[in-house]
Amino acid sequence: MLMLEKTNFQDVTVFKMGRSIGKYVLYSVHSFLLEDTLIDTGTKFASDEFLSTIIDGGKKTHGGEFLLEFKERQVNKIINTHYHEDHTGNNHLLQQIYLSEIFAHPDSLPYIIKPDNLKLKPYQKIVWGYPESSKAKAVEKSIHIGRYQFLIIPCEGHSAGHICLYEPQEKWLFTGDMFCGVKNIYLRQDEDFNLMLKSLHNLSQLNIETLFCSLKGVVNNGSQALADKVEYMNNLRDETFRLHKAGRRPVQIRDKLLGREGFMFYLTGGHFAKINLIKSILTQFYKNN
Q: Tens place of pLDDT for every residue, the chain, 289 residues?
A: 566 788 999 999 998 887 666 666 667 899 999 999 999 999 887 776 676 666 655 444 332 333 333 355 689 999 999 999 999 999 998 998 899 999 999 999 999 999 999 999 988 888 888 899 999 999 999 999 999 999 999 999 999 999 999 999 999 999 999 999 999 999 999 999 999 999 999 999 999 999 999 999 999 999 999 999 999 999 999 999 999 999 999 999 999 999 999 988 998 999 999 999 999 999 987 787 6
- 139, 184, 277, 166: which is closest to 222 by C-alpha? 166
Structure confidence at residue 44 (pLDDT): 82
Helices 274-288 and 193-204 cross at an angle (nearest 10°) of 90
pTM: 0.90
CB 159 within 8 A of CB 82: yes
DSSP per residue, the chain: -EEEEEEEETTEEEEEEEEEETTEEEEEEEEEEETTEEE----GGGHHHHHHHHHHTT---GGG---TT--SS---EEE-SS--HHHHTTHHHHHHHH--EEEE-TTTHHHHH-GGGG---HHHHHHT-PPPP---EE--SEEEETTEEEEEEEE-SSSTTEEEEEETTTTEEEEETS-S-S----EETT--HHHHHHHHHHHHTS--SEEEETTTEEEESHHHHHHHHHHHHHHHHHHHHHHHHTT--HHHHHHHHT-S--HHHHHTTTSEEHHHHHHHHHHHHHHH-
Bridge partners for 272 per DSSP: 188
Q: What is the pLDDT of residue 18?
A: 75
Per-residue confidence (pLDDT) for residue 267, from 0 to 100: 85
CA-CA distances (angstroms) from residue 162 to 63, 149, 198, 232, 260? 37, 19, 14, 22, 30
Angle at which helix 250-257 crosses helix 222-245, to 10 degrees, equals 140
Q: What is the largest CA-CA distance in the chain?
A: 67
Those residues with Cβ within 8 angstroms of residue 24's Cβ, 6 or more apart along the chain or in another chain: none
Indicate if the alpha-carbon torsion angle 59, 133, 105, 192 is positive or negative.
positive
Report the C-alpha gap between 40 and 58 in whole angstroms.
19
- CA gap 273, 62 in Å, rounded: 42
At residue 103, the pLDDT reads 98
What local confidence, expressed as pLDDT, does residue 223 receive? 97
User: Are residues 83 and 108 in contact, defined by beta-carbon separation less than 8 angstroms?
Assistant: yes
